[in-house]
Amino acid sequence: MVLNDYMNEFFPNLILRPPLFYNWKIGIRFELGVEWDREYHYLNSPYVQGVYKRAVTLFESLHLQDEKILVVVDVRDLGDGKPYKQKARIFSPYINEKSVLYKLRYTEMPYIFPEDDEDGKYKTHRFTLECKVSDTPLLKAVCNQDLGIQPSIFHRVYFLNIKRKTIFHVYDDRGCDLLAISPESIRDIYNTYNDWILDYDKDEIDKVFR
């Protein structure tokens, strides 16, 4: 499945960039990190383990191990005009079956936040990999991006479920967005993990599922 085809068919007119929740009519914003404290920035702290638990639980509830997904990673270059060469290295530490990397697709595109690039000197390097859920244990590395804990990936990562037609995005240890094409397709997630929904947006989210 080609990323552009997926987006045009199921999420038309949605630009794949944060904040996804505020740019699509059907979605849930979950809180991952609870009672944050700078002193909790170590691997086995209650805060970090709580972030992992919520992120992994939501992800595994949404994606079966043998389901095909599109994993999209966006990398911003430094605007120095040099070609980006770290293609396979973005995914290789997190892929169990190295043969899967042959499916990796790469696109250089204008910076995904043009409002922050008045001079037009930045680019977004987009990597898309179609794989099974079981092929890539990326999730904890995404959660670690602002915690100074390894493994860590500092790029934006999106998980697109081909069968369920959803987009799952952990924006950092604070929370994650789940988008869908209909309320019914994620109602089970909404009901089961209702207590984890971010309070700030809960009223608007509840209206979608009533």
What per-residue string of b and e applies to 88-109 under the rule 16 or more CB within 10 Å gives b? Answer: eebbeebbeeeebbeebeeeee
CA atoms of 170 and 32, how far apart (whole Å): 9
Over the stretch 13-25, which tens digit does the pLDDT of each residue have? 999 999 999 999 9
Mean pLDDT over the full length of the chain: 85
Over the stretch 102-129, which tens digit does the pLDDT of each residue have? 888 888 888 888 888 877 788 888 999 8
Predicted pLDDT at 191: 97
Nearest to 125 by CA among 139, 142, 111: 111
Coil/strand/helix, residue 193? coil
**Matching residue, tokens 């990597």:** 127
* Domain regions of the chain by residue span: 3-209
Q: What is the pTM of this model?
A: 0.88
Give the pLDDT mean for 51-78.
87
Over the stretch 137-195, which tens digit does the pLDDT of each residue have? 677 677 766 666 676 677 888 999 999 999 999 988 889 999 999 999 999 999 999 99
Predicted pLDDT at 83: 57
Give the pLDDT mean for 39-56.
77
Task: Work out whether the CA dihedral 115, 117, 119, 121 comes out positive or negative.
Answer: negative
Q: Among residues of the chain, what percentage have pLDDT more than 90?
A: 42
Largest CA distance in the chain: 51
CA atoms of 104 and 124, how far apart (whole Å): 16
